[in-house]
A and B are shown apart, each in its own frame.
Chain A
Amino acid sequence: MDVLKTTLSNGLNVLLKEIHTTPIISHWLWVRVGSRDEGSGLTGASHWVEHMQFKGTPQFPAGRLDKDISRDGGFWNAMTYIDWTAYFATMPADKIDLPMRLEADRLVNSNFDAQEVDSERTVIISERQGNENNPMFLLDEDVQQAAFDKHPYKHEVIGYTADLKSMSRDDLYHHYKRFYVPNNAVLAAAGDFDAQVMLERIRELYEAIPAGPAPARVAAEEPAPVEERRVVTKGPGETIFVKAAYRSVRATDPDFFALTVADSLLAGPSNLNMFSGGISNKTSRLYRHLVDRDLAVGVNGGLQATIDPFVYDITIVVHPERKAEEAVAALDEEIARLQDKPPKVEELTRAVKQAQALFAYGSESITNQAFWLGFAEVFDRYAWFETYLAQLAAVTPADVQRAAQTYLRPQRRVLGVYQPDGRPAGDE
């Protein structure tokens, strides 16, 4: 089915896809703001603003919005990432007007009541403390911090505790006003509607909102990595985790797809679906070399489609009777194998077939299809998504070998180890 793509006079990008299999519509509003837009002292601002978007506007007071959506049988949520913030609602088709009116309204009219800001401050600090209970969050945060010198990708989306304690209502409101303008947003909807009728309604709701100045971005060109960095995170527990984070490429880089195939061979296929599960990775090269040989009990890879070069990471849960160094040595052997010898064509064919299957699963969900529409538009264009399978299929064994040689060198990585400090758990 074709996608209707247009841009309103105020710069709002609109993508609409009719799907008439079930009477459901999923509506997404994406704002091009994330932790990459946060300077010193403002880490976590984008995520906090997202929370404040649920605290009401003069037209839709706090507490009413969620009840109205729930009453109509819909579900809605929001998420903040390093590059974007997204708000979605999936509703019975005849009830979609409410979230449409709401999204248009809170794009510019949110209250940011000072008391609500303070109440949300403790909620977000609590969210961060919940994350800190997890050893992987502690390791991720240290590795990410070491992976960048200047770029705001160096901090976690949730932000530093010190900033969460000190940020003011006005800091947040200015962040909101700077980035929440129609020319910095993408509206994507999929489901049981007539695209022209839907577009008319979008025009009614949005065209009166004036465009704002193009938001200035944090100017931080990250220098190329020159040597391996190592970090050790200490904390409670018994389990050792290893995380190797290699400086990656932006999603629009021609090498992104070769690196995607390299990831698939090494650690199993990445799942681009947000609302549909992936598949196991037990025949991947790293699983066979680490888990089958009792050096690890689990291994995973993660390559993200991002605006600026982020990291490709490999996470290893070390076997209880092994050391981190043994797992790292095995990781290096397997990466060297891919660098030394191109993979077989059959391995690439398999990676493409896996990606095709994941696409088929993802297309079952209308929410997931609407997610796809907007997601690629934020870091590139929807065409990135439409050509994804063809781009993967065009990757050659030599491309994969070259990507491994270029991007998976130790000089480009941070090697992090979560080292349990041996404190006993349980009642003391």
Chain B
Amino acid sequence: MKSNAALSLSSIPGADDITRVELANGIVVLARENANSLSVTLRGYLPAGSLFDPDDKLGLADFVADALMRGTAKRQFQAIYDSLESIGASFGFSSGTHTAGFGGKSLTEDLPLMLDILNEGLRAPSFPSDQVEKLRAQLLTGLALRVQDTRDMASLHFDELVYRGHPYARPEDGNPETIGAITIDDLRGFHRKTYGPRGMVVSIVGGINAFTAVEQVRATLEDWTNPEQPASPELPAWEALPERVYKRHDIAGKSQSDLIVGTAGPPRLAPDFMAANLGNNILGRFGLMGRVGDSVREKAGLAYYAYSSLAGGTGPGAWEVAAGVNPANEQKAIDLIFEELRRFTSELVSEEELSDSKSNFIGSMPLSLESNGGVAEALLNIERYQLGMDFYRHFPGLVQSVTQEEIRAAAAKYLPVDKLAVSVAGPRRAGA
């Protein structure tokens, strides 16, 4: 089928159609117009993540982000959501390890309202006590469900195994004791000290002129200052596991076990990240979930899902293989996964596999940039990792340059099979 719209560079964001402006207070604004769209997406982040949580107040950053729209100096909770929902807009804050994030979408003409809500949440949250208690009950319910969730618990214990003594071992959503102990003063104090314009990035994509979007952000947020705002905490070095470690967590009354095998992978800016990423695609993504899916699901029929993932964020995020299996098949699945990992770390991937994965990366990029949300996320990536404005246009070349040997080297470096963590959560096994 011949395409009418040739796949040209013009459909991929680049230096000539991304507007980037740094405001006087340090906020970086990125904007790109999509003339075909009736709506607009607003996304961004600032350095106020769970790295700032004290050990006895784990979940504080998350609690604060969730509380920002529970009431502000200007509007009460219901008034905030009434203004958004009555026009069909959505907007919210969230928190991760390194940053707090925000995002939403509206019809184009309603962007000023989203910016107002963003501004009020960032600068004037009131943390009303009745709303804080409602939120606490919701967070505690979420934690009660987490304890019952085999995937969540396998993941929690995996992080504890892999990141002992490192901040990545700590759950971003805390635990019932710490969430129970957080006071309104803690929320206010965290907000006052860590929320500020330095390091903040805003991305706007949609049916709006980029210059107009930037000026709207300027008018709303350029006068925000916070002299107390600290630098982001230094991430301590991660120490490799000295040997293979295993943890099994029983949850009564469940039918399936979820398991994770892996360890820390390369940060996004590591020189071998692209090789690891392509390798991960071969290991557990390509087609119906790569070699792992082929072995564990397709050939052995052991699991409904089996795949690998590579976090590749600011720090050494996990590189892991995950699967959900019948409890009787746990060991069989783990053995098959290790078989694949041994092959992956010791042998070159085939030329065909590499060529397939390169085509997949290059071919799927336009699909990931189809929506306003996809482009807004791409702009944030460019800024977060300083990839360069033309990164997505150079992407095919970067992908093509990776060799089989580079993938084997990255695999061997990051996934030493005798030094991986294995975490399983599931029902108690008969006879165990």
Contact = CB atoms under 8 A, between A and B. Distances in A.
B325 interface: yes
Interface string A348-392: 001001111110110111110000000000000000000000000
B149 A133 contact: yes
A23 B9 CA distance: 11
Interface residues on B, range: 35 or more
Interface-centre pick from A235, A297, A321, A363 (highest chain B CB count, 10 A): A297
A140 B238 CA distance: 44
Nearest to B371: A364
A426 B251 CA distance: 5
Given A279-B90, A283-B81, A127 B304 contact: yes
B256 interface: yes
A172 interface: no
B122 interface: no
Interface stretch (A62-70, A211-219, A336-344): A62-70
Given A67-B286, A294-B137, A361-B39, A425 B251 contact: yes
Nearest to A347: B86
Contacts of B286: 67, 70
Interface-centre pick from B3, B106, B140, B372 (highest chain A CB count, 10 A): B3
Given A71-B360, A357-B89, A426-B251, A119 B287 contact: no
Interface string B404-420: 00000000000000000
Given A23-B7, A94-B1, A74 B287 contact: no
B1 A201 contact: yes
A417 to B, nearest CB: 16
Contact of B85 (A120, A235, A354, A421): A354
Given A75-B364, A238-B144, A283 B1 contact: no
B386 interface: no
Given A92-B7, A237-B144, A357-B39, A126 B324 contact: yes
A67 to B, nearest CB: 4
Given A23-B3, A280-B81, A130 B370 contact: no
A366 B4 contact: no
Contact of B251 (A121, A193, A236, A269): A236
Contacts of A75: 364, 367
Interface residues of A, number: 95
B124 interface: no
Nearest to B134: A294
A426 B81 contact: no
Interface in A21-48: 21-25
A133 B36 contact: no
B423 to A, nearest CB: 13
B371 A73 contact: no
A320 B141 contact: yes
B302 interface: yes
A22 B90 CA distance: 25
A95 B81 CA distance: 44
Nearest to B359: A71
Contact of A236 (B2, B138, B254, B297): B254
Interface-centre pick from B85, B134, B287, B360 (highest chain A CB count, 10 A): B85
A238 B147 CA distance: 9
A194 B108 CA distance: 30
B39 A360 contact: yes
A239 B144 contact: yes
Contacts of A354: 85-88
Contacts of A100: 1
Contacts, number: 242
B219 interface: no
Chain B binding surface, main DSSP class: mixed
B3 A119 contact: no
Interface string B35-46: 011110000000
Contacts of B36: 21
Given A70-B356, A72-B359, A132-B256, A123 B301 contact: yes
A70 B353 CA distance: 11
Interface-centre pick from A90, A130, A198 (highest chain B CB count, 10 A): A130
Interface in A263-298: 268-269, 276-283, 288, 291-292, 294, 297-298
Contacts of B249: 426-427
B298 interface: yes
Contact of B5 (A22, A118, A292, A320): A22
B141 A317 contact: yes
Nearest to A119: B301
B75 to A, nearest CB: 13
A355 B88 CA distance: 7
Nearest to B142: A297
A132 to B, nearest CB: 4
Contacts of A292: 78, 134
A94 B88 contact: no
Interface-centre pick from A71, A236, A269 (highest chain B CB count, 10 A): A71
Interface of A: 20-25, 54, 62-63, 66-67, 69-75, 90, 92-97, 100, 118-130, 132-135, 192-194, 197-198, 201, 235-239, 268-269, 276-283, 288, 291-292, 294, 297-298, 317, 319-321, 350, 353-358, 360-361, 363-367, 421, 423-428
Q: Which 8 A-B pairs have the closest CB atoms?
A: A73-B363, A357-B88, A93-B3, A119-B301, A236-B253, A127-B304, A66-B287, A129-B255
11 contacts: A92-B367, A94-B3, A124-B304, A126-B256, A126-B304, A133-B255, A236-B251, A279-B84, A350-B85, A423-B252, A425-B148
